[in-house]
Structures are given as C-alpha cells and as structure tokens.
Structure 1
Amino acid sequence: MRTHKKLLITLLASASGLLVAPSVFAEPVVLQLDYEIPVQQNQVAFVPFAGDSVLSPIILNDLNRTELTVTSRDLPQQPRSSSELAGTLPVWQSLGIPYLVVGSTRSNRGKIVIDYEVIEVKSGQVLEGKQSLTADNNQQSLRYAGHVIADKVYELITGTPGDFSGRIAYIEETGRGKDKTSRLKVMDADGENARTITEVNGSIFSPAWSPDGNRIAYSVQREKSYPTIYVQNVSGGGANVLTPFPGSNLSPSFSPDGSKILFSSSYQGSADIYEISASGGQPRRLINWPSSEVQPSYAPDGKSFVFVSDRTGFNQPRIYRHEFGTGRTTQVSNSGYATSPQFNSDGSQIAFLSGRSAAIMNSNGAVTTNLGNTGIDEAPSFSPNGKRVVYASIQGGQGVLTIKSLNGGEAFGKSGQGIIRSPVWSASPK
C-alpha cells in the first residue's frame, strides 16, 4: 500500500528561476510537492545481527510465525545499534514501520555475547534499553539463545511473553501389536531439533511437563502389563517409577508448583482420580464415583482441576471441574463427546477433544474455536502464552504435528515417522 505525504522543500532561486549557489541575492522559495513514499504494512523491521549467521534466521523465523509481520528486506540501512541511527531516523520513520530490531554479537572468553535493541521508530526510544544475552559457542546453545531473544522481542512489542523457548514433547509410534515401538520425543517450538527421550517396545501415553520445563511424566504400557507412570529428567538420566500399583495408571498432570501429580488409576476398582507427591509415595483418592473418571488436569492457580467422567452414560464423556477448597464438583462441558481437557496459562480457556475434533472452550463450557477433525483422537495443547496451540493429526496417511496461531499468525506442520500423538508444550526451562 502506498500513501502520499506532503513534503515541503525550500529552494534558493535567482530572479530568473534558475537554481544557483546561495548568495545574498537569493531568496527562499517554498515549494509544496506531492512526494510518494512507500508505507510498508510490516510491523517490525529486523536487521540481521552484525557478526552473526546462526541467531538471526531463528529469531526472524520465530517472529514471522506470530501475528506480527516482520521484514528484513529492502531496508535503507544495516545499523547494529540505536546510536548508528542518530542521523537517519527520519528515513526509517518514512517507511511507516513501527518497530526496528538491531543487534550484534561478540566473543568474550570463549562465549558469545549478543547485544540487541528494540526501537520504537516514531520516537526513537529503545524499549527497556539495550538487552544482552550470553551463550555458549555451540549450535545447541545459540539455537536456544535465538528463541530466548525472540521471546523478549515479542514481549517488548506486544506486552505478552513469547513462547519460542519452550519445547514440545510428543509420542511417535511405528509398527503394530507386538511390533509397536513408541518414542517419547522433544523438539524446539519451531519444529526443529527433535530428539528421543525414551523408546519402548509397547505404548507411551499422555506426556506432561513439569512447570519448570525440566521433567516429563508419562505412562508406559508394555505387553501383558498395566500402564505405569514414570517421571524423567529431560536433560538425561533414568526414569523413576511413580505408580508401582496394579491397574491402569494414566494421564499425569503436574501441580503449578511441581510438587504433586494428579493421575487416574483403577488400582482400587474403577478408574478414579488420585493425587500423589511428584517424588512418589502413597496416593490420595480425590474422586470416587461409580463411573470411570480419567484425564485430570490442574488449573493454573492450583485451586481446582478438570477431569473427564462418563457418569451421564456409556460413551458420553463430559468434562467436570473439582474445587480443592470446597470439594464441590461441577460439569463444565455442556453436551456431546468431550475429553482430554487442558487449561491455558490464565485459566480462561480449555483445550479439549470434541468428538474427533480439536477444539477450545471458555471456562464456562462455551466452545469458542473448532480446529477441525484431526483424524485421530487427539486434543490440542496450548503454548505457554496461550496464543498458539499444537495438535496431532493424520494427513495423507502420515502423522503430522500442527502448530497454529489463535490470533492470525502463520500455521505450520511437522511430519514424523508413523503416528504422532499427544503433543504438549512446555514453558521455557528454568
């Protein structure tokens, strides 16, 4: 889109109208011209950081998958800091782009130091001053640093923390029956850098992140055995058994402070909801109805949790909410087949499975977003800031992870081997 701006130009003219060098005889003539200035629709101009070839593409890619529109092309200058804009700020202002991101990298004692600034172009103000981040000089550390910087840039511009430095855990299944192999994998939030945390001959179910992003709880069912819940540190080490109980132990959910875990178990009869210390011990039964109660998930404030029950009838699962303080339990979903509930970060929305479709409801049970039929029974998971969701589907016979913005940003998919299930998004590791 282009707009015309009136530009006042003062010329020194002679009596004959010819331009001459300034003199005492020259009189200023003010001409009002229509000068066409291209006004870009991009909200952010991103100048690749000086001395860098790794971070900048990651930051640009992250920001371009949000509702922001970002460009690094056709820029009038390649400044590395706000001080280099002193004489050219009007040029940037004429572009009509509200924000400018500049930066540079340098080495310091074997590490990489990244200095960067987010500039409000209209005023020339640097938002929250110069930012600095230090990373190890290796691909893994620099990749993570790029995501952290994208988080901060997004927050400075929108006021909402970014969700790029969190990770996504998911299950990848190949084979069937006795030949089924399941892998618990973790990847960066941009769909890259996937690695296997654990692999079993059998099934893995319902991974759940700890609030600090360092541990994952999940269920494993091997041939001729009950599902058992394990807790494992993502950085390495063996998995610890959390539920050495008979029966089906499924759907772990960490409390907001990471000290407790909700889960469903049939070790005392029908499936009920239990709470246990995250380090193990004796569980406490919270819901004990004659029907089956499964898939518990804490609310962000830890004062309640949601779960699924078929108490209204066979194959008619509904979502309920239980309050710890009062012991009151109320139905949340209004009708239909509703399972796999999970809150967003402020508790205002619940992602769930509506029949065979991934969907989102508000906390009162009204459906606000239908993400469509996924082809498998998979519910979406919110990103840490609630602006995006990740869900699994089957496309062309292949398992696909889809990351979708809820406010106009770009959606993208990541395919894998076999079937992909149960993706869940972590906060940035503490």
Structure 2
Amino acid sequence: MRLNPLLASAAALALAASGLSQAQASGQTPGQPAQTGAPVEVEIDQGVLRPFQIAIVPFTGERGRDISDVVSGNLRRSGFFEPMNPAGFIETGLTLANAPNFPQWTQIGAQAVLYGGVTTRADNRLDVGFRLYDPYRQCQLVSYQFTATPEQYRRIAHKISDMIYQRMTGEPGFFDTRVIFVSEEGDALNRKNRLTIVDQDGYQPVFLTQGDEVIMSPRFSASQPDEVTYVALGKDYSRIYLYNLTTGRRESLGEFDGQVLAPRFSNDGNKVAFSIIRGGNTDIYVMDLRSRQLSRLTSDPGIDTSPSFSPDGSMIVFNSDRSGSPRLYVMRADGSGQRPISRGGGSYTAPSWSPRGDLIAFTKQSGGRFSTGVMDANGGNERILSSSYFEEGPSWAPNGRYVMFARQTRGGDTRLWTVDLSGRVVAQAGYNGRGTDPAWSPLLDAPADNIGIGQGPDSCPS
C-alpha cells in the first residue's frame, strides 16, 4: 500500500505489542450497530498496527457532533487510525474560518487535526464543511464542503471518512458503502432467514424479504450498486432473482431443470454466472442478461460451483472437487483453459476475485479449522488472514483492502466479521445481529438530491 509521507513518517504501520481496541456494543438487540457502547478488545494476529493519532474536534452546528462521531467510528474500525480523546484537547472552539494553533496539537501528539461545522440553509438543507490539517508541517491536507438534507448526515460522514482515508493512505475509502447478507433469527429447528441490507457501519438495517423462503448467496452488481442477485429456495423451487434496491422490483432469471446455486454478476453487470445441480452433477453456467442466452461452461463429473469473475471479465475463478477434494480453478470466461491454482493442503471453497484484480480470497478447511485467506490470481503467495472454529464466504470491500466473512462459534451463533489484508486486525463487523453470506457493495453514488461539493486548497505536498 502506498502511504502518505506523513503517515509513513509517523510510523502508523509499525508493529506494536499492545492491543488495538475498537468500539463494539454489548447486549445490543439484533440489527443494532456493534460499534456503539463500551470498548471491546479486537482480536490480534501476528502483532498489531500502531494506529495513526488523529484529533477529531466535534463539529459545530446541527448534526455536527453526530457527523464527527460517525467519522471517528469509521476511522477507528479501519485499523489505521486512533481518534484521540477530546478531553485532552487544549484548543477548543475551532471554526472553519481559522487554522489550528499547531503547537497546541503537536504538544498532545496529534498527527492530524480534523474539525468542521454545519450551517442550515433557509430550505433546511445543511452545508457541511471540514478541514484536515497536518500540525507538524503546519499545512492543510484537504478541505471540502457538502450540501445535503439533515437525513443524509450519516452519508456525509461516510464521504468525509472516505476522503480522509484516501488522503492519508493513498488508497480509496470504503465507508460510503452497504452490505447485503442473510440475517438469521430463531433456533436451529425454527430458523427464519431474510435478505437484509445495512450500512457498512451496521446502521439502518432493512429486511428485503419476509422470511418465507430460504435465501442464499446475495451479491451486488459492481457496475450498478442498486442491483443485487440471490437464490431463493421454496418448498418446490429454487430460483435466481434480480432485485432492484431502488424500485423494489424482483425478477426471476427463469425456471431451470435442477437446483441453482451461487450466482454472481460480471463486473459490467451484463452477465450472471451460477451453478445448476442436475442429474447428480453440478456445473457452472453463465447467462447473458441482455439476451437471456444460457451457456454451459463446465461439464466434468465433479462439483463445480462458486464462480467469480475477474474485474476485466476475461477470467472466472471457481471451486471444484474434480481432483478428489475441493480446490480452486480458473478458466476463461467462455469456459476454456480450465486449470487448478490452489496448491496447499486442505479444502478450498468460496473464491472471490478482488476488485483490484490482484488477489483471490477464499475459505479453507484444514486441520479441523476454517480459515479466510488470499492468494495471488495465479495461485501463488497464499496467506491466511483469519482462522476459527468455522468461517466462510469472503467478500471484498470495494478498495480491495478488507474482507468481510461469516464466523460461527461452537454454539452455532454466526456473525459478520472483517479482516484487513495484513491479517492483524480482525473484528466483528458493525451489524450486531446474526448473519451469513455477506456481500460488500461498491461505493455509492451521491444521494438523489445531489450533494454539492466544493474543494478547498491542499497546501501539503503529497
């Protein structure tokens, strides 16, 4: 990862022996964000990132403190930042018209200072401005102003978080996104699952189905963030649906001779690849959504499933047990050139191609444990990011630097978790209810009333 010189010089990525904490709720009801409430210890593997000390001054004006609180929670969860306790701030009352008193911030060890303010227009819309400074170099890193309705304050906070993350790390942010997954309620004998969507920080969950079908494998379209696909199982059917999140329209891809599994869009949104169980065999097919033409890509006696397109659409990774145990294979998008790429022991399933194209995430079962790992697109440099009693179903954040997956305890409780590519920060995701099959959305577009954006000068060299 290419880092801002300030971040690198501050040793923000240095290893430390101490643990990294994040906010998580205790005793929250399902659907409430996990990051509210008392701090909780975050699982650490192989050391820990020393987070970047950022002073976030509470924003002024309507919804101002709410916005700065959301930004603080986002940055903390990334693992790169540790928002400082405002009780230790020497300078207070910062306004957008003034630069910080830099020595007062370096004195308390702040490596960046963020502050902002909200003004309310006559039409009740909010102008939200912020500034981010480097107190050591005494220069402005970035400033922006957004205009939106009061109801969109969380979206504004996520966009601010994305801008800070990108300015400080050199990588795109991932906060203004949503997660679609299968939420679970009830016990093993009377379990209800529903297609559910939630903001990446766990807020604003919405149930999209009623619980009268078994829902599996929801996935976003990378080119159309409002389009998702998933499998619904009824008493006498299995169907792949396309669902538009804006209109609520649900459309079946048709009736197939056999059970359908694991649909996933191509990155341009024009195709869906999936598996069909037919005559005791499971093979991969692809449907062109424009013509509805169906093509069969595999035809061996093994179980071929979980196809995932490369970002450029030229290749597909999938898992197959044709060699005796599940391994990862790649093939061209037309089904030719099938070859194995996983090389280690154990069983490999649920591959997912990174949106950057450089890595493939997977689930691996070995030695009585399940792991979430990544490997190069050619199968090299395999490394495990997280291991536990049971975990599965990795899904990439749109910047290709974080992976979300489902983790189950021995008691059968399944939650959504995230891990960064270093494998050193593993934490429960924002949603605190039970869930499986997570899929991360692309970055969202501006809200319907069009957020107005004005950029200020950036006086710090990159």
Normalised by the length of structure 2, the TM-score is 0.76
The separation in 1 between residues aligned to 2:389 and 2:179, in whole angstroms, is 18
CA contact (8 A) 1:185 1:194 kept: yes
Is 1:103 paired with 2:116?
A: yes
How far the C-alpha of 1:325 sits from its partner, in A, is 7.7
CA contact (8 A) 2:284 2:297 kept: yes
What does 1:2-401 align with in structure 2 at a 5 Å threshold? 42-51=52-61, 52-66=64-78, 67-73=80-86, 74-81=88-95, 83-85=97-99, 88-108=101-121, 109-128=123-142, 130-138=143-151, 141-174=152-185, 180-211=191-222, 212-225=224-237, 227-266=238-277, 270-278=281-289, 281-313=292-324, 316-324=325-333, 327-334=336-343, 335-355=345-365, 357-363=370-376, 364-365=378-379, 366-375=381-390, 378-395=392-409, 396-401=411-416
Partner deviation per Cα, 1:270-298 (whole Å, 9 max, x = no partner): 32212113357121222222322111001
CA contact (8 A) 2:385 2:419 kept: no
User: Tell me, which stretches of 5 or more residues in structure 2 are unaligned?
Assistant: 1-49, 446-462
Aligned-partner residue type, residue 99 of structure 1: A
CA contact (8 A) 1:65 1:410 kept: no
**Closer/same/farther in 2, CA of residues 415 and 151 from structure 1, 3 Å limit:** closer
CA contact (8 A) 1:398 1:416 kept: no
The separation in 2 between residues aligned to 1:325 and 1:375, in whole angstroms, is 34
**Closer/same/farther in 2, CA of residues 197 and 306 from structure 1, 3 Å limit:** same
CA contact (8 A) 1:380 1:391 kept: yes
Aligned to 1:411: 427
Partner deviation per Cα, 1:223-266 (whole Å, 9 max, x = no partner): 132x2100101234231101322211111111111121111123
Give the structure, 1 or 2, with the largest relative contact order (CA under 8 Å, sep 6 or more): 2
**Closer/same/farther in 2, CA of residues 358 and 193 from structure 1, 3 Å limit:** farther
Secondary structure of the residue that 2:323 maps to in structure 1? Answer: coil
Identity score, percent:
27
CA contact (8 A) 2:274 2:285 kept: yes
RMSD between superposed Cα atoms in Å: 2.6
Aligned-partner residue type, residue 112 of structure 1: L
Aligned-partner residue type, residue 134 of structure 1: T
The separation in 2 between residues aligned to 1:308 and 1:160, in whole angstroms, is 30
Aligned-partner residue type, residue 62 of structure 1: N
Aligned-partner residue type, residue 90 of structure 2: P
Partner deviation per Cα, 1:157-189 (whole Å, 9 max, x = no partner): 111111111111111234579954320111111
Secondary structure of the residue that 1:58 maps to in structure 2? Answer: helix
